[in-house]
Structure 1
Amino acid sequence: MTEHWLEEAVAASRLPAPQVFPRNLASEVERRLGVTLVARPQLTSDSVRDWLAQRHFRHRVAETSRRLFGCMVARRGRAVLFLDSTDSLDEQRFTLAHEVAHFVLDHLLPRRWALSVFGESIRPVLDKTRSPTPAEKLSSHFSQIPIGIQVKLMERGPSGAIRSTQVLHSERRADRLAYELLAPSTLAQETLGDRPEEEGALELAGRFGLTHSAAREYAQMLLLHRRPPRFSLARMLGGDRR
């Protein structure tokens, strides 16, 4: 059974359940999500910034120039997703799924929540065509709303180290949704079967087009959910309500 937030995110992606693997996510997201894909060799934060500037969007992308696996730039419910065309096809496949996940989790869903709370009157604020009212600013929901242009980077190397638990949580959720889009957990569990972890990871990589490192991480994640929960006296006595 998948977590509720994950089911909600998969539904919000508007992507049908895959029938063929490895999944050709690129053609699906362009058609169903209305995103634009941009592949650049040796992708860097500077190349993303320059691409935006050429289209009259002057927006800070990163504090310092660095290599990227991918990048999401979202605005008004649409997105441009950047990939490094020199990466392997399996690496690009996962990067794309990760950036789609950020678009859904960090842009589409918060906009949907904002519109459900404030109504259509908040859309010009989301699109940054008007400023929020004092009452809107005071709302507890307001700090969670993405306004204007959003940039999410999938970094590589030591210079792209994650600096906060909030960012780490966001990246882990994006990874989890990316795995679900490329290799739905019910099918992935069947593929793992009773195989040892390393053998199961190889099977995941071969069937779903994951890199070996990504397949190993996903295998560990799925196997962890199979293990029985640690004994808890509070749970046994009915006092654990987590």
Structure 2
Amino acid sequence: MSEQWLVEALTESRLCFPPGFPRDIAAEAPLRHPLDLVGMPGLTVEGVRQWLVQRDLPGELSGADRRLYGCMVARAGAAALFFDSDDSEAEQRFTLAHEVAHYVLDHLLPRARALRFFGEDILPVLDGEREPGLDEYMDSRFSDVPLGLQVHLMDRGAGGGADSGAVLEAEQQADRLALEFLAPMAVARAELNEVSVTEGPRRLESRFGLPTAAARTYARMLRQRRRAPELSVLDFLGDDE
């Protein structure tokens, strides 16, 4: 299967299949993981920076102040997920799904790898309670395991776009996992089979509560992938949580 990473991420997320659509990711995700959802009107880098300062958290946010769709601040297996409360319901839903995806892909999975590699003795390092030893530091760099506080920004507009291939790939993976949370491929494909190509994005918007741009991108991706046979994630996980 070409998307084994997706199966692994869905398993780690414990959000494998929605109980209904549109999915209430804001209600479900905090039941599975220690997540705080923080809505801010007109979310900005400075707003997140002030939130960190008020809680004596040492994360540094680079660059000038700018508007954000969302943000993830993760530490010790828990996270705060920020979203712009001025956005539409569909945009907020997708933003939260995207940030949950980053929490799983960039925090939970690397943390699980570190625990498997180092054992429980690495927990104080992962949680920022002590500095890593030289061997631990080198091994964490080579294995791409993050240490301490993580901050991820979901930018809005040209001021903070992806500046490397690795960042772009990470964003694309987070989008793909977010779409699987909200509109599982097998179900979304069935919806597209019932309508014309031009009607497809609107069907995805209506059925799954996706923002317009995300629905268009997903519809195009699913149409392209339909040309080649591919096993669904549901073939591996089933449709029960």
TM-score (normalizing by structure 1): 0.90
Per the alignment, residue 209 of structure 1 pairs with 209
Per the alignment, residue 63 of structure 2 pairs with 63
Map 1:37-52 → 2, pairs under 5 A: 37-52=37-52
Per the alignment, residue 233 of structure 1 pairs with none
Percent same amino acid at aligned positions?
53
Instruction: After TM superposition, give the deviation of residue 31 of structure 1 in Å.
Output: 1.7
Instruction: After TM superposition, give the deviation of residue 149 of structure 1 in Å.
Output: 0.7
Counterparts of 1:118 and 1:110 in 2: how far apart (Å)? 12
Larger radius of gyration: 1
The answer to whether the 8 Å contact 1:114/1:141 transfers is: no
Counterparts of 1:77 and 1:68 in 2: how far apart (Å)? 23
The answer to whether the 8 Å contact 2:111/2:146 transfers is: yes
Map 1:38-187 → 2, pairs under 5 A: 38-139=38-139, 142-187=142-187
TM-score (normalizing by structure 2): 0.90
Runs of at least 5 residues in structure 1 that lack an aligned partner in the other structure: 230-242
The answer to whether the 8 Å contact 2:34/2:77 transfers is: no
The answer to whether the 8 Å contact 1:197/1:216 transfers is: no
Size of the aligned set, in residue pairs, is: 229
RMSD of aligned Cα (Å): 1.6
Indicate how the Cα distance of structure 1 residues 140 and 129 shifts in structure 2: closer, same or farther if over 3 A, else same.
closer
Please give the secondary structure, in 1, of the residue aligned with 2:19: coil
Indicate how the Cα distance of structure 1 residues 103 and 93 shifts in structure 2: closer, same or farther if over 3 A, else same.
same
Instruction: After TM superposition, give the deviation of residue 107 of structure 1 in Å.
Output: 0.3
Counterparts of 1:39 and 1:55 in 2: how far apart (Å)? 17
Indicate how the Cα distance of structure 1 residues 140 and 59 shifts in structure 2: closer, same or farther if over 3 A, else same.
closer
Of the two structures, which has the highest relative contact order with CA contacts closer than 8 Å and spacing of 6 or more?
A: 2
